[in-house]
Structure 1
């Protein structure tokens, strides 16, 4: 890979796969919200949650602006007639519970730590990922054994933009201190990863 100084990896679908029970995640979210004092039944919550999620998914997909789980959970609670703020620590605690089954369902690609150790001898390494709750992603990167090899971790929730928006790739390049033509991105999405990277002048490989 002549002239390549850094390799960026997508996360979900590239470094690991997840087969989580989304229904269980939503039940845990609701249970924790009730325990935190947001008193509403599951059906009412789910009706409001679906509306809030659909609203913000449209923004995320069409405008490529990232929105954290806390934002649409708070909106769901407001739609259900309760006072709620996305900055409320109680809502983040509920979101943390929501992600627990997800964390437990992560299945990393085989031999990741040894692969990253070998690559680290020649390249700067980083990840650039669309993910709505950064603490969960950072926990995953630690659990799959790659975090200590990374020079930069760029997560859409923290940057505010989703791939394929140029700003998230710019943040990764800035963190690695390389020019676009000196970087290679490895990802599993032809649009968000490959096309987004190539538009920035970054080489890309689809896996």
Structure 2
């Protein structure tokens, strides 16, 4: 299928894993519990009710796949409770929720040793980039650096900066423009079937699904772990794994 020079990686659950795979309620709890702002609501259940309502209304209000920074949602949650609260108070509560969420999120993130080993070898033959959905500004960059793998990537493209999340074509196009290559020159690797396999595949990328749990046995281009990816990209077969 021809040569490629770049590998674009998804980040979360591909490069960086979580000790606890969160549900929507967990995301809300990580922001609320320990924030020092709990007494603004009658309790977590009220906060979570408002949190769910904001997610629903924002999903209906904005175009599909449009991305927003997490602080924007938290501010709406606060205004549901107290629409006439002074702006300074709303900002203080919002910032407390954001800080608490991020502290809890970062504490649950880690990178497997096998991922680090494979990246060290891939970077010798390929240029690497990250294309990730995320709602915390500069969050992916911080996670990569904190876990000691940021040096392997030429750039990081995130939905919160681009304004569109995968599988919207604009975020993939932003990555191609940054790399200055055509999609045929890129292998896209990630764990999400639609965002990392089907979506970029429709735009002409070569795609490889990371399927650690064997959920997509019907997908022809899949690996179960990072060492399998390395085996496909071994010297002498560079750019011809698919």
TM-score, structure 2 as length reference: 0.73
1:14 positional shift: 1.1
CA drift of 1:24 comes to: 6.7
Q: Deviations over 1:171-197 (max 9, x none)?
A: 111111211110110011111111111
Q: Please state how far the C-alpha of 1:199 moved relative to its aligned partner.
A: 1.4
Is 2:94 the counterpart of 1:99?
no
In the other structure, the counterpart of 2:6 is 6
Structure 2 segments unaligned to the other structure (5+ residues): 211-242
**Which structure: larger Rg?**
2
Q: Which whole-Å deviations, capped at 9, do the CAs of 1:23-65 have from their partners, x for residues lacking one? A: 6764453353628xx83332433321221122234567x7110
Match of 1:126 in 2: 129
> Do the aligned partners of 1:20 and 1:102 also contact (CA within 8 Å) in 2?
no
Tell me if structure 2 keeps the 8 A contact 1:25–1:99: no
Match of 1:143 among 141, 146, 153: 146
Cα contact 2:10–2:189 (8 A) shared by 1: yes
Q: Hey, what does 1:166 align to over in structure 2?
A: 169
Instruction: Number of aligned residue pairs: give it.
Output: 203
Deviates more, 1:116-125 or 1:158-167: 116-125
TM-score by length of 1: 0.85
Distance 1:110 1:182, change over 3 A: same
Unpaired runs of at least 5, structure 1 = none
Give the distance between the partners of 2:188 and 2:36, measured in 1 at CA: 39
Question: Conserved in 1, the CA contact under 8 Å of 2:167 and 2:199?
Answer: yes
| Structure with higher helix content | 1
Contact kept, 8 Å, 1:112 with 1:144, in 2: the verdict is no
Q: Secondary structure of 1:13's partner?
A: coil
Partner of 1:55: 57
Quote the RMSD (CA, aligned, Å).
2.6
Match of residue 197 from structure 1: 200
Contact 1:10–1:187 (CA under 8 A) maintained in structure 2: yes
